[in-house]
A and B are shown apart, each in its own frame.
Chain A
C-alpha cells in the first residue's frame, strides 16, 4: 500500500461516543498533520507532529486528542463531540518542515464524520 491512508472513510457517532480516526503514511515522511474541512471554510489546521513531537495545537478543543506513536501513524481520538464537529477530517504528511518553507503535503482521502 502506498501514499497516505485513513480509516474509517465514514463515521457516524453520537455525542456521547468515543471513537478514533487512524492515519498511516507509507512515504517515509517525518511530519504529519490533522486538518478539518467544513463546507465553505478553508482547510483548518488542527495538529502538527514533527518527528513524533507535537509542534502545533491550533486552539483545538480538548474533545479532540491526537496521538502519534511513530512517524508513520497518527490517530485522532474523539469524545463527547458536538454536531458542529461534523466535517471531513484530513490527514497529511510531508518531509519535516524546513526553514526554506517548501513543504509539499500529501493528503489522505479523509474521514467524513457525522455527529448526531
Chain B
C-alpha cells in the first residue's frame, strides 16, 4: 500500500524555526512535494525534491532522503501568516498522493 505520515500539529512562536517531517511508503516514487493550505483556502505549491538533499526557497527549505523514505519542510523566521496546514505529497507515475497534513500554529 501507499502511506505518508506527518505530525498532526506543530506549534511555534514568531521568529522561530520549525521542521515538519514526512515519512512515506509508496511504489513508483519520483519525488516529494510540499503544499500549504490556509483555513478556507486552496492548497498552494511550495517545493519539490526529486533528488537527495536540501532545496532552499527564501524562508522555506525542503529536504529529501530517498534511501530513508523521509523528507522535511523547514520554515525559518516564522511569521503569523505561516499559520496553515502543510501537506507532503509523493509523485507517482501519474498522480500525487497526499499526507494527512500538519497544522502549524504560530503564536506571537
Contact = CB atoms under 8 A, between A and B. Distances in A.
Interface string B18-42: 0000000000011101000000011
Nearest to A100: B30
Contacts of A40: 100
Nearest to B91: A101
Given A43-B87, A97-B93, A104 B33 contact: yes
A97 B95 contact: yes
A106 B48 CA distance: 14
Interface residues of B, number: 25
Interface in A64-113: 90, 92, 97, 99-110
Most buried by B among A4, A55, A101, A102: A101
B97 interface: yes
A50 interface: yes
Contacts of B4: 42
B95 A48 contact: yes
B92 A101 contact: yes
Interface string B44-56: 1100101000000
Interface of A: 4, 33, 40-43, 45, 48, 50, 55-56, 90, 92, 97, 99-110
